[in-house]
Amino acid sequence: MNKTDRKVLKRNPKDRLAKYGVNASLVLVSLAFVTPLAWLVFASLDRNAGVSSVVPESLTLQNYEEIMRPDVALLPIWNSLLLSFGTAFLTIFISVLAAYPLSRYKMRFNQTYLYVILFSSSLPITAIMVPVYSLFVRLGQLDSMLAVILFMSASSLPFSIWLTKNFMDSVPVSLEEAAWVDGASTATTLRRIVVPLMTPGLSVVFIFVFIQAWGNFFVPFLLLFSKEKETAAVTIFRFFGQYGEIAYGELAAFSILYALPVVSLYFVMSRSLGGSFALAGAVKG
Amino acid sequence: MISTRNLKRRLPILPSFLMLALFMAGPIVWALYISLTNTSLTGTAAQDSQFIGLDNYLTMLGDPDFPNAVWLTVVFVVGSAIIGQNTLGLFLAIGFRSASKAIKKTTSALVMAAWMLPEIVVAFAAYVFFNTDGTLNQILLSLGVDPIAWLFEAPMLAIVLANIWRGTAFSLLVYMAALDDVPEEITEAARIDGASSSQHLFLVTLPIIKNSINTNLMLITLQTLSVFTLVYTMTRGGPSGKSTTLPVFAYDQAFRVADIGYGAAISVVMILIGVIFSVIYLRLLRSEGDKNE
Amino acid sequence: MKSKKTILGASAVALLLVGAVSGCTASSEEATSVNSEAEQKTIKVSYLVNDGFKQLDDLFNKVKPEFEEKNPGVVVELDPITGTDSDYTTKLSLMHQDPSTQPDVFYQDSFLVRSDVAAGYLLNLDQYVSEWDEWDMFDEGAKGAGQDASGSVYAISMGTDSRGIYYNKPVLEEAGIDLPWQPENWDELMADVRQIKESTGEIAFNTYSGNGAGEGAVMQGFFMFLYGTGEDPLFDNASGKWVIGSQGFRDSLAAYETLFQEELAAPVEEAADGNMWQKVLGPWIKDGTVAATIDGSWVPRMWGSAGGDFEWPEYEDEIGVAYMPSQDGGSKVTLSGGWTLALGSETEHPEEAFAFLTEALNYENALKFYVDNAQIAVRSDVAQDEAYQSANKFVPFFTDLVSSTNFRPATEDYPRISIAVQQATDDIMFGNKTVEEAAAAYDQAVIDIVGEENVIRK
């Protein structure tokens, strides 16, 4: 008793000092990370925002009102939605199809295919943009939203199949077998049993693909031309790529509006990630 | 030897296979092909391109801008990913173990926030932050330091810092997860043995999470190699090529100079670099998998 | 067995989706035209818009309803593209790659016409102009700007321009320079510029430079020096070969080096920005930050247009103009370019597209565009119009300069050569290379572009 007390006493000052140090450095890092963000938020609420403005004299939502017009922010955001939802749905659909045989059947081919997939998931997409553009020219698919969705899906597929397969692995075959005995088909069990059981996992994959498509600038920048098909990232680039007279406040408001959906999706994802881990645990247990 | 049953079983894989073949393998093969031609966006070669053998690659060897782009890419990857994001992520994760809960929560939320934002928004915010009249210079000014035109005089530094801001969250997540697996008893034991915190870090913690470090390093290297938007929108590779990393260089040659063939040759080099790192990464995963079994 | 069928079915759907791209090349264009009114013809018109250039947008917005009224069943779809000249050039060439994205009518810098013709992007207009009674009103130089080597017409000039020096009179007076200012050779120019620098400490002489400024770096910049160093300094017309290794090229680079090293020109940080002209012609020349600048004849459009971004009614009193002297004196140096309207080679409605073009360039609209955009008239009838001649104070000066003008080499290789020249000015401006190194790099670049057999050493 006495001994431990002394030990606690001896450790405390040093530990407390270390803890202060750690806390202080974390506060510094936080400050560094929050500063550029703070400008963005303040500028979006400041009608007269410039690069050098800090805290606005009066807060207003006027910047948001200004950009909430079809030709400014709404159409580009709609296009981004179209692109991201299209990509995410298509990716999920193809991933589930591909994951089933990879997860359920023992074939030598599976191992190879999984390695190919893992391999291509780490290839840098920007490296192939020049040939992709040239290929789109050859296929006559420039300025086609469908083709861009297909390309974006293909580039998300490797990672998505990999994740989907892993989630599917954790759904026990025994559940399916029971249904098969009752005369259900593979497709039925896939649709009625497997997919519902891995909904949390699939929503993670969905959100993941969606966020990637939503944030992508390079692909639509290079492959879509019409104003009517312009996505939000490209519009923002066009706004501030001009250097001249940038409406900083409106651009900041647009940026925040554009960032909101993905930030909220991250929160949803962190929830359902917890959920799918729970599922994995339940299955193992 | 493949039975009909096996064929049917594999069929659902086919759509994914075709997508990957057309949009991933296709462009790679296509890049190899057009890099051997003088395909252009303008002039005669735009409608009637010629096979020119290895000319584009020879041009690359004699082009001083190419080693410049390779070097800047190395600076970018090493500076922002390997040194910046990786070290900061690791230290934050270690710090979180002894920090007070409120501070830990705030810091991780802020670090994550920059990661969640779309790349173009990060680029815009960073562009303003490093602007000559921007926030950073205002802070410096209030500290009595003369403002610097960051994007002009130190474009690489600005881009490296912007990418650290944007990407540290990834390493942080990896290391938080890895450290969670370090048994509390080991930490305690080391402390009782009187190890200093730096000894503790190098002798105990790092060896335990070595695999996570390797994996993280490979992943962030691959991610950083392909960063285009951040660089292009902050500086467009300038001034005078001082921040032209390989992706920007390829874009510039293919689309501004209109030399698609040369741009494709640069793409091929980037793909090769990507392949090398991917192979190393796969090896790492494999050996890790072996150990676990 | 129903099971397998459904999985197979799902796979088939997915396959179809993939097939939609790989197999079917039916463009989205066709899809939309099926949806819309069967009889309706749509003409897409692509053109450049930015803070300093809204005049064409004005013109087309005026022409569109007029044209649509005269041509029922034809819809004009305006496609303004925002950005710098160089962004616009890139985007346009990306759009030309496919019939579905190629515009029917578009605005194009005359220096790109030859390479566009070679690339097959432009529709041959010979037949159309032969039936256009107003074509004879265009002067020969303007016709030439839109022709290929064989004399076929591919683009119609919207006006031409010339280049000289604008200076802020009070600032030069303050510096003790006699007005009107007219340096007679480079030595005089440099001496005066140094004297101005002494006096103001600001940008004494702006010349455009570097990759960011794009074509402006050669036209309102390097070529104004180079073309003052002797005949055919860039392209030897007699042999049809590109000039390399010339003393004139090195002397011009040396002049650039002096201007930037002695900080007589704009700070590199500003000059590297492709949009610096907006500052030069906006606030800087007004408040004397820039004492003198090389620029084009169109500049008064920005100061003169009421409510424009650079509106400055007092410019007629405050601004003086001088021509750019040749290196050793004795001649005026200027360059002319200009932009054109052309038709996409794959247009489905060439008749209607050409009708739109002629509507946009008829007497009334040409006059509007010449005046609003401060162009030098290329239609001889409009050139006589009182409204044109009195459009701004400097019209006589710049129109007179046209008689001693130079045109860029009309070859398809020019755009890439120009990029090599821009690179040389960039390297000098940043101090990356010495004059000798930059000149050598340029020579090598030219050889890479056109081949050893198409260069001539001078």
Residue to test with chain B: of C5, C6, C8, C93, most B Cβ within 10 A:
C93
Nearest Cα to C21, choosing from B69, A223, B80, A222?
A: A223
Q: What is the pLDDT of residue C306?
A: 60
Give the residues across from C335 on adjacent strands: C406
Which chain C residues are Cβ-neighbours of B19 within 8 angstroms?
18
At A285, is the pLDDT very low, low, confident or very high (cuts 50, 70, 90)? very low
Q: What is the pLDDT of residue A283?
A: 30
CB-CB contact of A160 with A92 (8 Å):
yes
Q: What is the pLDDT of residue A107?
A: 78
Q: What CATH number does residue A136 fall under?
A: 1.10.3720.10
* Tens digit of each residue's pLDDT (9 = 90 or more) over A146-163: 999 999 999 999 989 988
| Nearest residue on chain A to B262, alpha-carbon basis | A130
Q: What is the pLDDT of residue A248?
A: 87
Q: Cα angle at C402 between C380 and C368, to 5 degrees?
A: 45
Q: Is the pLDDT of residue C63 over 80?
A: yes
Instruction: Give yes or no: residues A131 and A20 share one domain.
Output: no
At C245, is the pLDDT very low, low, confident or very high (cuts 50, 70, 90)? very high
Interatomic CA distance for residues C351 and B236, integer angstroms: 41
Interatomic CA distance for residues C15 and C24, integer angstroms: 13
Interface contacts (A, C; CB < 8 Å): 95
Q: What is the pLDDT of residue C289?
A: 93
Given CA atoms A139, A143, A148, A150 in this order, what sign does their dihedral have?
negative
CB contact set of C216 (below 8 Å; sequence gap of 6+):
C85, C208, C274, C277
CB contact set of A198 (below 8 Å; sequence gap of 6+):
A164, A167, A168, A170, A171, A276, A279
Specify the 3-state DSSP secondary structure of C293: strand
Instruction: Give yes or no: residues A162 and A196 share one domain.
Output: yes
Q: Is the pLDDT of residue B97 over 90?
A: no
Contact C11 B14 (CB under 8 A): yes
Instruction: Give yes or no: residues A197 and A168 share one domain.
Output: yes
Q: Using CB atoms, which chains have 3+ pairs under 8 A with A?
A: B, C
Which of A133, A139, A227 is the closest to C25 by Cβ? A139
Q: What is the pLDDT of residue A11?
A: 53
Residue to test with chain B: of A80, A122, A266, most B Cβ within 10 A:
A122
User: C72: phi > 0 → left, psi -120 to 50 → alpha, else beta; which?
Assistant: beta
Angle of helix C186-200 relative to helix C247-261, nearest 10 degrees, comes to: 10
Which chain A residues are Cβ-neighbours of B263 within 8 angstroms?
130
Q: Is the pLDDT of residue B191 over 80?
A: no
* Tens digit of each residue's pLDDT (9 = 90 or more) over A245-274: 678 889 999 999 999 999 888 877 776 665
| Nearest residue on chain B to A215, alpha-carbon basis | B118
Query: Is B264's Cβ below 8 Å from some Cβ in A?
Result: yes
- A54 found inside a domain: no
* Tens digit of each residue's pLDDT (9 = 90 or more) over C317-327: 999 999 999 99
Instruction: Give yes or no: residues A81 and A30 share one domain.
Output: no
Q: Is the pLDDT of residue C36 over 50?
A: no
Q: Which ranges constitute the DSSP H helices of C23-155?
A: 28-35, 55-70, 85-95, 113-119, 126-130, 140-145
CB contact set of B199 (below 8 Å; sequence gap of 6+):
none
Identify which of A122-126, B179-183, C320-324, C403-407 has the greatest average pLDDT.
C320-324
Q: What is the pLDDT of residue A278?
A: 37
Which of A100, A225, A242 is the closest to C95 by Cβ? A225
Which of C7, C18, C98 is the closest to A142 by Cβ? C98
Give the residues across from C147 on adjacent strands: C153
Q: Using CB atoms, which chains have 3+ pairs under 8 A with C?
A: A, B
The architecture in CATH of the region B52-292 reads Orthogonal Bundle (1.10)
Q: What is the pLDDT of residue A52?
A: 77
Interatomic CA distance for residues C412 and C427, integer angstroms: 25
Interatomic CA distance for residues C305 and C290, integer angstroms: 21
Residue ranges of domains in chain C, CATH in brackets: 40-157+339-374 (3.40.190.10), 164-334+409-457 (3.40.190.10)
Residue type, C336: S
Q: What is the pLDDT of residue A279?
A: 34
Picking from B2-6, C167-171, C255-259, which range would have the lowest pLDDT averaged per residue?
B2-6
Task: Read off the pLDDT of each residue in C84-111 and give the average, rounded to a whole number.
Answer: 88
Task: Read off the pLDDT of each residue in A108-116 and give the average, rounded to a whole number.
Answer: 84
Which of A22, A98, A132 is the closest to B95 by Cβ? A22
The C-alpha of C131 sits at a distance from chain A's nearest C-alpha, in angstroms, of 33
Contact C98 A97 (CB under 8 A): no
Instruction: Give yes or no: residues A204 and A269 share one domain.
Output: yes
Contact C272 B153 (CB under 8 A): no
At C1, list the tokens: 């067995």
Which chain A residues are Cβ-neighbours of B222 within 8 angstroms?
122-124
- A274 found inside a domain: yes
Instruction: Give yes or no: residues A105 and A171 share one domain.
Output: yes
Q: Is the pLDDT of residue B293 over 50?
A: no
* Tens digit of each residue's pLDDT (9 = 90 or more) over C121-139: 999 999 999 999 999 999 8
Contact C212 B42 (CB under 8 A): no
Q: Is the pLDDT of residue C74 over 90?
A: yes
Q: Is the pLDDT of residue C390 over 50?
A: yes
Q: Is the pLDDT of residue C205 over 90?
A: yes
Identify which of A16-30, B96-110, B197-211, C181-195 has the greatest average pLDDT.
C181-195
Give the residues across from C53 on adjacent strands: C50
| Nearest residue on chain C to A134, alpha-carbon basis | C97
Contact B106 A30 (CB under 8 A): yes
Task: Read off the pLDDT of each residue in C45-69 and give the average, rounded to a whole number.
Answer: 90
Q: What is the pLDDT of residue A125?
A: 86
At B190, is the pLDDT very low, low, confident or very high (cuts 50, 70, 90)? low
Contact C100 A140 (CB under 8 A): yes
Nearest Cα to C342, choosing from C130, C132, C158, C105?
A: C105
Model pTM score: 0.83
At C215, list the tokens: 């074509």
Instruction: Give yes or no: residues A27 and A136 share one domain.
Output: no
Instruction: Give yes or no: residues A192 and A234 share one domain.
Output: yes
- A28 found inside a domain: yes
Which chain C residues are Cβ-neighbours of B12 within 8 angstroms?
7, 10-11
* Tens digit of each residue's pLDDT (9 = 90 or more) over C248-280: 999 999 999 999 999 999 999 889 887 788 889
Note if the bond before C396 is cis, omega within 30 degrees: no
Instruction: Give yes or no: residues A19 and A135 share one domain.
Output: no
CB-CB contact of C412 with B43 (8 Å):
yes
Structural domain boundaries, residue A137: 63-284
Which chain C residues are Cβ-neighbours of A242 within 8 angstroms?
50-51, 82-84, 275
Task: Read off the pLDDT of each residue in B59-77 and give the average, rounded to a whole number.
Answer: 93
Q: What's the number of CA atoms in the CB half-sphere (13 Å) around residue A75?
A: 11
Residue A47 C-alpha from the chain's centroid: 31
Q: Whole-number mean pLDDT of chain C?
A: 87
Q: What is the pLDDT of residue B289?
A: 59
Strands C335-336 and C241-244 turn out to be unpaired
| ipTM for the predicted complex | 0.88
Q: What is the pLDDT of residue A242?
A: 54
Interatomic CA distance for residues A248 and A217, integer angstroms: 20
Q: What is the pLDDT of residue A176?
A: 86
CB contact set of A72 (below 8 Å; sequence gap of 6+):
A66, A235, A250, A254
Number of domains into which chain A is organized: 2
Interatomic CA distance for residues B228 and B220, integer angstroms: 14
CB-CB contact of A210 with A261 (8 Å):
no
Q: What is the pLDDT of residue A272?
A: 61
Residue C375 C-alpha from the chain's centroid: 12
Which of C86, C115, C272 is the closest to B238 by Cβ? C272
Which chain B residues are Cβ-neighbours of C419 within 8 angstroms?
256-257
- A106 found inside a domain: yes
Q: Is the pLDDT of residue A284 over 50?
A: no
At B285, is the pLDDT very low, low, confident or very high (cuts 50, 70, 90)? confident
Query: Is B194's Cβ below 8 Å from some Cβ in A?
Result: no
Q: Is the pLDDT of residue C308 over 80?
A: no
Q: Is the pLDDT of residue B59 over 70?
A: yes
Which of C7, C119, C269 is the closest to B152 by Cβ? C269
